[in-house]
A and B are shown apart, each in its own frame.
Chain A
Amino acid sequence: MSSFFSQEIPISWYLLLSAVLFSLGVAGFLIKRNLITVFMSIELMLNAVNLSFVTFAHQWHAVKGQIFVLFVMVVAAAEAAVGLAIIIAVFRARATLAVDRIDLMKL
């Protein structure tokens, strides 16, 4: 039993989890019909990629992988701010959040 508790986890399980989360993010991007939820699916995909970055940083003992995740977080924060501002602008112009009804590039 003590060997069970000290057991280590194969790296590939983390990578599989990351792949599953990424695929769920892609599926959410396709399924969801609300603009904000589509945006959340993109965040989910970013998180999945971050997990594989951290996993590989652990595997190769590389600090730069983790720093890359930090930069991804910064870019994701900037992206969320700009994206939500765009969503607010679209909602003002169209008064809807359904992606089926937002089908023109023009505001």
Chain B
Amino acid sequence: MHLILFFVFAGFCVAGAINLLLQSHPISSALSLIVVMTSLAVLYLLLGAEFLAAAQVIVYAGAIMVLFTFVVMLLNAGREERTMGSRTARKVGFPAVVAILAVIATVILRAQGLGVAGLRDGITSTTDLSKVLFTELLLPFEVTSVLILIAILGAVALASHGDGNPHGNRDPYGNPERTAGK
């Protein structure tokens, strides 16, 4: 059962990622990325990370991808023209990708002492997770809340009328009176 679930959802992951590359319309790419993320949530469950599986579905497949599809629809992003990248990307990039994959795969396959993953012993409950998170790692947790706040402020400043540009109104859609960053 374990093995079948792994193969099915690992297949979904890889197929979704390849489909993301092949689709030319951004909304199709976004949908395949959702497939990848939801399948990864199942793999997290197989690895005993139940809280992370839920967070993966809610945060990644839910919140972040809704943001992506929202922006795709807001900007009315159409079909991309396929130029297959620059010459540098083709000559250097793709061999580099293959090299990265080869190196990582070699290291993994040669590594000693990697065990097997079964659900018998390795389930991390949300209680265990939160005990560490809210005692030992309380300060980093609070710092991330500050990070989120700064990110919200930055997003609002960037996407608002002024574009965060104090020198005036180069924004074609903005209101000229209101473009001074306020």
Pair from one complex = yes
Q: A43-B33, A44-B20, A98-B80 are in contact. Are A55 and B155 (CB under 8 A)?
A: no
Contact present for B64 and A80 (CB under 8 Å): yes
Is B180 in the interface zone, CB < 8 Å from A?
no
Chain A binding site: helix, strand, loop or mixed by DSSP? Answer: helix
* Chain A residues, Cβ within 8 Å of B37: 47
Is A76 in the interface zone, CB < 8 Å from B?
yes
* Chain A residues, Cβ within 8 Å of B10: 13, 17
Chain B binding site: helix, strand, loop or mixed by DSSP? Answer: helix
The one of B26, B52, B128 in contact with A37, judged by C-beta atoms closer than 8 angstroms, is B26
**Chain A 83-107, CB within 8 Å of chain B: the 1/0 string?**
0111111011101011010000001
- Interface size range of chain A in the complex: 35 or more
List chain A positions with a Cβ less than 8 A from chain B. Answer: 4-17, 19-28, 30-34, 36-37, 39-41, 43-44, 47, 50-51, 54-55, 57-59, 61, 63-64, 66-67, 69-71, 73-82, 84-89, 91-93, 95, 97-98, 100, 107
